[in-house]
């Protein structure tokens, strides 16, 4: 393709009026279980923006929820867990994710999308660390004290937990690719809460195992987290094909840290999009120029995190045009 | 001194039982206005831990509160603003901080501390960006959309706001040094929410002005924020003597990025201290070894952010001993 491809994390979601109309008051997990609804939500931003990829409307806690861990997603809050993971005794509550039985609706959603879409479909998977952090903290956290406590003081349970969550991610990714997904994005949104040594020691092995298993599917593997500037250098070797970069790290810097061994996805601050076109345009052009001038191969334009709910969809529409028209 | 000096951000605070007893239910801003109380709270961790520095018990919103902007600090929430800063019309609400009239108790607190302490006293100042973010958002924020919107769409008002807040920080720092503080830490806790280009363009000029003004006082200037990995390189030139580093950036990396032109302060993950000694000890030793092996001159051991409320004080006491006994 002659232009830089572009899509937006959380391009399907509350920023779109057609999404809010369709979802109404229905719970997020409930709406995922209805393939017609999930398909329509996934397609909305593709129609409206002309983005170059769709991503399955999903959430990283889907395997945990579908296998009965007891987790819901509350509007404006995020995942909330009934009985958080506390100790080895809770390991029995993390069982294998048998997608065809536990979440047949996910396979159906992906299959329909694969047949209807004219752009690539990205499958959705949660990375072991970030899923674990929700199961342990019980909800989103600022400090991750319970997570880091388990990680450093009961490494056996921690490793077993990440292994099981990794197996769920592998099962989920495999099922989505078999149903027609043409890439997988592994969301490790909060991995940047860790110092690099802790990440290398306690998270990278399980993450690498997921990436290696999914690499057998021969589709590009995207890995994303915020605040991961000091982790970027570990990712290509671990099997990441496309490194998601948040807005804190300039793309040329990310290109250096990854040794130019992976494509880069990012990295416009979503708050600038929410601030309006005046804030968005110069920042987007700067990123496009940086990618071009640094000779970055395989830049996928995206935001540095998900679209914020208050974002004006017209800003994103103009942004897609700007990226497509940029002379790289 | 033959050993690495150590102190902890928020060493005075809720993690100490003697602090909780003393403060009781009194509001934080009210307790700051009582020199006897503020002095005692400042001294508590020095007595208990034998740390090598005290930091004035204070908060970054003190100048705004003392000049009548209308801000309170709520337990477990942080600063909360009555009428957030919205537009140029609010600039009149940011007036000069005349410390001797607006906050004579601050001068008294610092004076008493300077005469009683046998370790250096660090003065406390809020950096323009982070103070502005509280005044604009009205409380702590995840995305800083309103802050970034003002910053990018009304740069004239933004620059004027940061200029005024910078003047308040200068007045505060000058008063504290005149009263006996032997260093100033400029807290820019949330500067890491910005991409480096936005920081350079919209924040660095006002920050540099504060640093240059305070440099006339001939005391070391410490600058601290979380998530500032990509900003570190700009700080020595701006006049920072000691760069605070959060736990995400290994000290040898920070040493490279700052061109070895400033001392480094940090950088143990406070969540590891909250997790206990078993988690704390190896991570602390790693940091000490890294600093030694990289030949970092002027390493001040600290956490990468403030002490978390649930931290066991005994862990911090052992940590001070560990740092002091380390063979560097």
User: With a CB-CB cutoff of 8 Å, which residues 245-264 of chain B face chain A?
Assistant: 247-250, 253
| Tens-digit pLDDT profile for residues B120-176 | 999 999 999 999 999 999 999 999 999 999 999 999 999 999 999 999 999 999 999
In degrees, rounded to 5, the angle at the alpha carbon of residue B14 between the alpha carbons of residues B13 and B15 is 95
| Tens-digit pLDDT profile for residues A103-147 | 999 999 999 999 999 999 999 999 999 999 999 999 999 999 999
Which residue carries 């752009």 as its tokens? A119
Q: Decide if B249 and A230 are in contact by the 8 Å CB cutoff.
A: yes
pLDDT band at B243 (very low <50, low <70, confident <90, very high): very high
What's the CA gap between B222 and B204, in Å, rounded?
15
Q: Decide if B148 and A196 are in contact by the 8 Å CB cutoff.
A: no
pLDDT band at B1 (very low <50, low <70, confident <90, very high): low
- Give CA separation, A11 vs A173, A316, B6, B50, in Å: 20, 9, 46, 53
What's the CA gap between B119 and B122, in Å, rounded?
10
With contact defined as beta carbons under 8 Å apart, do B166 and B206 qualify? yes
Residue of A nearest to B306 (CA): A143
| Tens-digit pLDDT profile for residues B134-143 | 999 999 999 9
**What's the whole-number mean pLDDT along residues B181-204?**
98
Q: Decide if B145 and A275 are in contact by the 8 Å CB cutoff.
A: yes
Pick from B144, B275, B283: CB nearest A149: B275
What's the CA gap between B267 and A93, in Å, rounded?
36
Confidence at residue B25, expressed as pLDDT on a 0 to 100 scale? 86
Confidence at residue A176, expressed as pLDDT on a 0 to 100 scale? 98
Q: Residue A37 domain-assigned?
A: yes
DSSP annotation string for B65-121 = HHTT--EEEETTTEEEESS---SGGGGGG-----HHHH-HHHHHHHHHHHHH-SS-E
Confidence at residue B76, expressed as pLDDT on a 0 to 100 scale? 84
Q: Decide if A278 and B152 are in contact by the 8 Å CB cutoff.
A: yes
Q: Decide if A308 and B198 are in contact by the 8 Å CB cutoff.
A: no
Going by the DSSP 8-state scheme, the letter that residue B6 receives in this structure is B
- The answer to whether B199 contacts chain A (CB < 8 Å) is no
Q: Is the pLDDT of residue B99 over 70?
A: yes
Percent of the residues in chain B that have a pLDDT greater than 70, as a whole number: 100
- ipTM (interface predicted TM): 0.95
- Give CA separation, A297 vs A234, A235, A284, in Å: 19, 16, 18
- Alpha helix locations (H) across B258-301? 270-275, 277-293
Q: Decide if B272 and A152 are in contact by the 8 Å CB cutoff.
A: yes
Query: Which chain B residues are Cβ-neighbours of A153 within 8 angstroms?
Result: 275-276, 278-279
Sequence-separated (6 or more) residues with CB below 8 Å from residue B110: B56, B121, B123, B175, B176, B179, B180, B181
Long-range contacts of A150-157 (CB under 8 A, 24+ apart): A150/A85, A151/A198, A151/A202, A152/A198, A152/A202, A152/B272, A152/B275, A152/B278, A152/B279, A153/B275, A153/B276, A153/B278, A153/B279, A154/A87, A154/A88, A155/A202, A156/A88, A157/A87, A157/A88, A157/A91
Q: Residue B33 domain-assigned?
A: yes
Residue of A nearest to B152 (CA): A279
pLDDT band at A1 (very low <50, low <70, confident <90, very high): low
Residue of A nearest to B307 (CA): A143
* Residues of A with a known catalytic role: 10, 14, 23, 59, 134
Q: Which helix (H) or strand (E) holds B325?
A: helix B313-325
Q: Residue B12 domain-assigned?
A: no
Query: Which chain A residues are Cβ-neighbours of B227 within 8 angstroms?
Result: 227, 248
Q: Residue A314 domain-assigned?
A: yes
With contact defined as beta carbons under 8 Å apart, do A279 and B152 qualify? yes
Nearest alpha-carbon partner for B301 in B276, B270, B278? B270
Which residue carries 């740390």 as its tokens? B51
Q: Residue B250 domain-assigned?
A: yes
| Tens-digit pLDDT profile for residues A17-60 | 999 999 888 899 999 999 999 999 999 999 999 999 999 999 99
Q: Is the pLDDT of residue B322 over 70?
A: yes
- The answer to whether B225 contacts chain A (CB < 8 Å) is no
Q: How many CA atoms lie within 13 A of A28 on its CB side?
A: 20
- What the block records as the tokens of B303 is 């956490």
Nearest alpha-carbon partner for A100 in A141, A74, A67? A67
Average pLDDT, chain B: 97
Confidence at residue A24, expressed as pLDDT on a 0 to 100 scale? 86
Q: Decide if A279 and B148 are in contact by the 8 Å CB cutoff.
A: yes
DSSP annotation string for A3-67 = S--B--TT-SSTT-HHHHHHHTT--HHHHHT-HHHHHHHHHHHHHHH--S-EE-S--TTHHHHHT
- What the block records as the tokens of B249 is 């950036």
Going by the DSSP 8-state scheme, the letter that residue B193 receives in this structure is G
Domain range for residue B317?
17-326
Spatial strand order in the sheet of A54-55: A54-55, A121-126, A183-187, A221-224, A242-244, A263-268, A299-303
- The answer to whether B229 contacts chain A (CB < 8 Å) is yes
Q: Residue B9 domain-assigned?
A: no
| Tens-digit pLDDT profile for residues B246-289 | 999 999 999 999 999 999 999 999 999 999 999 999 999 999 99
Nearest alpha-carbon partner for A198 in B27, B104, B279? B279
- The answer to whether A269 contacts chain B (CB < 8 Å) is yes
Confidence at residue B158, expressed as pLDDT on a 0 to 100 scale? 98
- The answer to whether A225 contacts chain B (CB < 8 Å) is no
- The answer to whether A317 contacts chain B (CB < 8 Å) is no
Percent of the residues in chain B that have a pLDDT greater than 90, as a whole number: 96
Number of domains in chain B: 1
**Alpha carbon B163 to its chain's center:** 19
Q: Decide if B275 and A249 are in contact by the 8 Å CB cutoff.
A: no
Q: What is the CATH number of the domain that holds A21?
A: 3.20.20.210
What's the full length of chain A, in residues? 328
Using DSSP, state whether A299 is helix, strand or coil.
Answer: strand
Helices B35-49 and B313-325, axial angle in degrees (round to 10): 60
**What's the whole-number mean pLDDT along residues B34-56?**
98
Nearest alpha-carbon partner for B102 in B75, B136, B69, B79? B69
Confidence at residue B308, expressed as pLDDT on a 0 to 100 scale? 97
């Amino acid at each position: 393709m002659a232009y830089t491809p572009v899509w937006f994390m959380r391009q399907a979601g509350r920023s779109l009026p057609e999404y809010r109309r369709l979802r109404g008051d229905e719970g997020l997990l409930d709406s995922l279980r209805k393939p017609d609804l999930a398909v329509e939500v996934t397609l909305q931003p593709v129609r409206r923006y002309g983005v170059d990829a769709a991503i399955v409307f999903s959430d990283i806690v889907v395997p945990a929820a579908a296998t009965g861990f007891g987790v819901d997603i509350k509007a404006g809050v995020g995942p909330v867990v009934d009985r958080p993971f506390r100790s080895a005794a809770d390991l029995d509550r993390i069982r294998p994710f048998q997608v065809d039985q536990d979440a047949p609706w996910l396979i159906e959603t992906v299959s329909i999308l694969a047949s209807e879409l004219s752009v690539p479909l990205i499958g959705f998977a949660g990375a072991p660390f970030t899923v674990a952090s929700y199961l342990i903290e019980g909800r989103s956290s600022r400090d991750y004290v319970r997570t880091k406590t388990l990680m450093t003081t009961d490494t056996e349970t921690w490793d077993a937990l990440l292994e099981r969550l990794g197996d769920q991610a592998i099962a989920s990714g495999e099922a989505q690719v078999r149903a027609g997904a043409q890439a997988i994005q592994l969301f490790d949104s909060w991995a940047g809460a860790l110092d690099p040594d802790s990440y290398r020691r306690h998270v990278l092995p399980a993450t690498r195992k997921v990436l290696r298993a999914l690499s057998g599917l021969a589709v590009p593997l995207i890995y994303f987290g915020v605040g991961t500037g000091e982790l970027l250098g570990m990712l290509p070797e671990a099997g990441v094909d496309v490194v998601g970069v948040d807005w804190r790290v300039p793309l040329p810097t990310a290109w250096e840290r990854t040794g130019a061994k992976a494509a880069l996805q990012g990295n416009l601050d979503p708050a600038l999009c929410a601030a309006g076109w005046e804030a968005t345009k110069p920042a987007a052009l700067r990123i496009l120029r940086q990618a071009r001038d640094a000779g970055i191969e395989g830049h996928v334009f995206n935001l540095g995190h998900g679209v914020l709910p208050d974002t004006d969809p017209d800003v994103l529409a103009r942004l897609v045009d700007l990226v497509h028209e940029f002379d790289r």
